[in-house]
Amino acid sequence: MTAVMPTSPLLAIVLGAGKGTRMKSAVPKVLHPVAGRSMLGHVLALVECVGASRVGVVVGPGMDNVKTEAVTQLPAAEVFVQEHQLGTADAVLAARSIIARHTAEVHLNRDGRPAQCIVLYADTPLIQADTIARLQQALNDGAGVAVLGFHARDPSGYGRLLTAADGALTAIREDKDATLEERQVTLCNSGVMAFALPDLLGVLDRIGNTNAKGEYYLTDAVEIARAQGVRAAVVVCAEDEVLGVNARDQLAVAERLWQQRARARAMAGGVTMIAPETVFLSYDTAFGRDVTIEPNVFFGPGVTVGNSVLIRANCHLEGAKIGDGVRIGPFARLRPGAQLGPDVHVGNFVEVKAVTMGPRSKANHLAYLGDGSVGADANIGAGAIFCNYDGFRKHKTVIGDGAFVGSNSSLVAPVEIGAGAYIGSGSVITKSVAADSLALERSTQDERPGWAAKFRAMMGRRS
């Protein structure tokens, strides 16, 4: 997303009070993740990106986890509790105090234009910043209300946008209140509404609840404002962008659409994906150029990838920094705190967690590197294990530059292997090893010449 400069101070109100009963979940709907971030987090990132100067988040009673997520994602957000869910206008009015402050501030600025306020739903995570900018533009062009609409493949259930011959918005009619003729309209309300009204609270307070659902409909603001001579406009966007998530199948659709977008963005930025539909990105995955990703790779949150990196098939990466020229996989796992310096190789069935690896170091096969550091040009053999956990605490393994850790060694932390040291294969290393030493921990090999031939002869005579 590219940052868009606000033209007038913008207040964003994000409605997140919905219980989301159709999710069948102990977790409130808006905390369910898309691409590794809660839907609420996506919407808060959007309002931050469009430069909202104030943000109010409306939650339901007892939704402390939603409150916490809101201020974690956006510390400047102010949270309001809507005590009873009496409709979308009632939800916005739960944030009355922030609207009042915003209106007063813009007035004090002698800005000359009414304060701008945008209402979004926290269960609608795919809206783009330039779409919000188009809504703001409609307000700048003189509309007092601008509604984000879309042409619905199946309009049933949505509020219909009723327009005049000149394209102006005359009213929003909820599905349950619409006449048969109005139901034929396929231009629908996404739920995103932007206002530039000198007295927004006055308009909201005038909304009643005499309708099929007995709710206070925010959408009624259109007719009330028009009766005051205000112009209302429609801004149209693609239906996919305003997908609202009510159940888990829609959550999966949102994820699919989000992934399609993110893959396209990555490829446009110089990433090769052999089978993009099998690569899963997080909201914050960052790539350099000339990264090649083979099929079936999953990026959890917090992964940064440098230039000219090859990620081979079937890797799982999370919280990892990957330097230029690194090769990973196939079947590698990078966990939080893995930091791979330039030209590091991490091969098949290798797991790295909270370990920094210096330039050109290699762990090519079957290893666990957890908690510690590996210097430059070190070689970690097949089957090497950092024994980092004693059942209570984690301890560090430190491996110096150019060290060579033989295959199937166990390094029992805390332990330090000096620069250039060798660890003989199969050793269980419990004491630190000085630079350039060889450490061996295994019994002396006992060889009995001719034993096998004699054994076979003896067994043969018996049978």
- So which residues are the catalytic ones? 365
Q: How many CB atoms lie within 10 A of CB 159?
A: 26
Nearest approach, Cβ of residue 258 and ligand UD1 (Å): 18
Residue of 117, 143, 187, 188 that binds ligand UD1 (CB under 6 A): 188
Q: Does 86 bind ligand UD1 (CB under 6 A)?
A: yes
Element spanning 71, H or E: helix 64-73
- Per the listing, tokens 């007719």 go with 223
Pairing state between β 310-311 and 291-293: parallel
Contact 437, 429 (CB under 8 A): no
Task: Look at residues 130, 110, 103, 80 and name the one whose alpha carbon lies nearest to residue 195.
Answer: 103
Contact 144, 231 (CB under 8 A): yes
φ, ψ (nearest 5 deg) of residue 140: -60, -30
Distance CA 36, CA 376 (A): 33
Task: Look at residues 411, 384, 381 and name the one whose alpha carbon lies nearest to residue 395.
Answer: 411
Nearest approach, Cβ of residue 87 and ligand UD1 (Å): 5
Residue of 98, 172, 196, 311 that binds ligand UD1 (CB under 6 A): 172
Judged by CB under 6 A, the stretch of 10-18, 35-43, 126-134, 411-419 that binds ligand UD1 is: 10-18
Residue of 9, 28, 125, 159 that binds ligand UD1 (CB under 6 A): 159
Residue 301 makes CB contacts below 8 A (sequence gap 6+) with 36, 37, 282, 283, 284, 318, 319
Residue 452 makes CB contacts below 8 A (sequence gap 6+) with none
Nearest approach, Cβ of residue 162 and ligand UD1 (Å): 11
Angle (nearest 5°) at CA 410 between 356 and 335: 35
Q: Does 91 bind ligand UD1 (CB under 6 A)?
A: yes
Contact 405, 384 (CB under 8 A): yes
Nearest approach, Cβ of residue 56 and ligand UD1 (Å): 12
- Total residues binding ligand UD1 (CB under 6 A): 25
Give me the residues paired with residue 339 across strands: 321, 356
Nearest approach, Cβ of residue 158 and ligand UD1 (Å): 4
Residue of 77, 117, 121, 353 that binds ligand UD1 (CB under 6 A): 121
Q: Which residue number, 71 or 412, has a Cβ lying nearer to ligand UD1?
A: 71
Q: Which residue number, 190 or 379, has a Cβ lying nearer to ligand UD1?
A: 190
Q: Does 90 bind ligand UD1 (CB under 6 A)?
A: yes
Q: Which residue number, 56 or 144, has a Cβ lying nearer to ligand UD1?
A: 56
Contact 410, 394 (CB under 8 A): no
Judged by CB under 6 A, the stretch of 79-87, 135-143, 230-238, 272-280 that binds ligand UD1 is: 79-87
Residue of 150, 158, 258, 280 that binds ligand UD1 (CB under 6 A): 158
Judged by CB under 6 A, the stretch of 189-197, 226-234, 254-262, 302-310 that binds ligand UD1 is: 189-197
DSSP string, 359-387: TT-EEEEEEEEEEEEE-TT-EE-TT-EEE
Q: How many CB atoms lie within 10 A of CB 260?
A: 13
Pairing state between β 271-273 and 169-173: unpaired
Q: Does 18 bind ligand UD1 (CB under 6 A)?
A: yes
Site string for ligand UD1, 207-246 (x = CB under 6 A): ----------xxx------------------------x--
Nearest approach, Cβ of residue 54 and ligand UD1 (Å): 18
Distance CA 84, CA 191 (A): 20
The residue nearest ligand UD1 at its CB is 159
Judged by CB under 6 A, the stretch of 81-89, 135-143, 263-271, 364-372 that binds ligand UD1 is: 81-89
Which residues contact ligand UD1 by CB under 6 A?
Answer: 15, 17-18, 58, 82, 85-88, 90-91, 121, 123, 158-159, 172, 174, 188-191, 217-219, 244
